């Protein structure tokens, strides 16, 4: 199964606004870049991934993607949200004839190649999907679609429930897979503290420690260090139903 990752990326400096009370704009921008670097590095390390498509209107993010061997595709200008960006990415996947698309958010600072491979390996076969929830259980941090149009992506608030309902409506078999390396998306002070206290050697984790950013989150509570393991899966039943890969160095 040929699989291409689709990563929507907001304009650098405009993400992580929930951290604006504890991080300066320059720190947020640098952290956003570091997390994107970590996600791209994880994609490059994945053995089961055949290509990477980054959708962004930010020229610096596009250059970073290209330097990492990914294909950079322009987003709407002005941007119309994550799902509109993902749709652009899926169009690129369609053009290259991939069997599946793996949609990833760009702030998965603990992502790794084996974690991405685990998602691809969990594909139920035929027309199906694999959903990796955020650690609060409401969001979607990774969504594998086979074929790439098996479901309409609905990233954002309560996306897990939306994807489950959509899959049931279309009778698409959906596997829920809990992967802690993909569960942490950095949105809050607690997330940042957990990242800094994790054993990760990734760029974003190192940045939080080098800059002492964890000290700015102490009022948020005791950090919970994220573990690195695939912890299990749940399956929603449903009926069974080349071009050269893009952006892979």
pLDDT for 247: 52
Enter the pTM of the model: 0.84
Other CB atoms closer than 10 Å to residue 223's CB: what's the count? Answer: 19
The answer, yes or no, to whether residue 249 has pLDDT greater than 70, is no
Region of residue 219 (phi > 0: left; psi between -120 and 50: alpha; otherwise: beta): alpha
H or E stretch at 195: helix 189-197
* Spatial CA neighbour of 154 closest among 90, 233, 82, 59: 82
Angle subtended by helix axes 25-45 and 59-67, to nearest 10 = 30
pLDDT bracket for residue 210 (50, 70, 90): confident
The answer, yes or no, to whether residue 217 has pLDDT greater than 70, is no
Least confident of 5-14, 46-55, 117-126: 5-14
SS percent in the chain: helix, strand, coil, step 5: 40, 20, 40
pLDDT for 70: 97
Q: How many residues does the chain have?
A: 249
The answer, yes or no, to whether residue 241 has pLDDT greater than 90, is no
Sheet-wide strand order for 51-56: 71-74, 51-56, 3-8, 100-104, 140-146, 128-133, 173-179, 230-236
The fourth-level CATH superfamily of domain 3-150+157-236 is Spore Coat Polysaccharide Biosynthesis Protein SpsA; Chain A (3.90.550.10)
């Amino acid at each position: 199964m040929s699989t291409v990752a689709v990563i929507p990326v907001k304009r650098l400096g405009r993400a992580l606004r929930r951290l604006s009370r504890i991080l300066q704009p320059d720190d947020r921008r640098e952290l956003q870049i570091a997390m994107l670097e970590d996600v791209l590095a994880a994609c490059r390390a994945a053995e089961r991934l055949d290509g990477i498509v980054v959708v962004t209107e930010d020229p610096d993010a596009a250059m970073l993607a290209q330097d990492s061997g990914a294909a950079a595709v322009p987003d709407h200008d002005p941007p119309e949200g994550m799902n509109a960006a993902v749709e652009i990415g899926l169009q690129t996947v369609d053009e290259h004839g991939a069997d599946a698309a793996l949609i990833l958010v760009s702030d998965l600072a603990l992502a790794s190649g084996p974690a991405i491979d685990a998602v691809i390996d969990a594909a139920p076969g035929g027309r199906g999907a694999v959903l990796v929830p955020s650690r609060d259980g409401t969001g979607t941090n990774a969504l594998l679609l086979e074929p790439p149009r098996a479901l309409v992506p609905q990233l954002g608030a309560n996306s897990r429930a939306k994807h489950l309902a959509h899959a049931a409506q279309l009778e698409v078999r959906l596997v829920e897979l809990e992967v802690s390396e993909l569960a942490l998306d950095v949105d809050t002070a607690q997330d940042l503290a957990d990242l800094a206290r994790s054993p990760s050697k990734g760029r974003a984790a190192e940045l939080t420690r080098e800059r002492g950013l964890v000290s700015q989150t102490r009022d948020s509570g005791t950090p919970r260090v994220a573990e690195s393991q695939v912890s299990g899966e749940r399956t929603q039943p449903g009926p069974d139903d080349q071009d050269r890969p893009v952006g892979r160095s």
